[in-house]
């Protein structure tokens, strides 16, 4: 049985086959890929983990198509981390 814990518009966490973990807003789910908005990755900062731009050379406002074959796990992001993602991408503190 397939259990889906996320929906379009949610902040989701993805573990990629490359080992990277990204946090993004899920824009659309297609048969073979997910479309995400403003994907960020976990990075080591001076005072611990921070969210940073996943693809440094890409337009940060462009939606990204991630093939499902490159994703090991996708799940809704924990509320505390989702709030940090919203703050990092919009400047709004929730």
pTM of the model: 0.88
Domains delineated in the chain: 11-79 (2.30.30.100)
Mean pLDDT for the chain overall: 92
Alpha-carbon torsion (17, 62, 39, 51), positive or negative: positive
Q: What is the pLDDT of residues 40-70, one digit of tens each?
A: 998 888 988 889 999 999 998 899 999 999 9
Give mean pLDDT, residues 71-79.
95
3-state secondary structure 43-59: EEECCEEEEEECCCCCC
């Amino acid at each position: 049985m397939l259990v889906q814990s996320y929906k379009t518009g949610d902040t989701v966490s993805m573990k990629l086959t490359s080992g990277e973990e990204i946090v993004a807003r899920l824009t659309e789910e297609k048969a073979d890929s997910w479309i995400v908005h403003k994907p960020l990755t976990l990075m080591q900062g001076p005072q611990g983990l921070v969210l940073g731009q996943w693809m440094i050379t890409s337009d940060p406002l462009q939606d990204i198509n991630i093939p499902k074959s490159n994703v090991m796990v996708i799940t809704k992001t924990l509320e505390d981390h989702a709030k940090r993602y919203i703050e990092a991408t919009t400047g709004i503190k929730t």
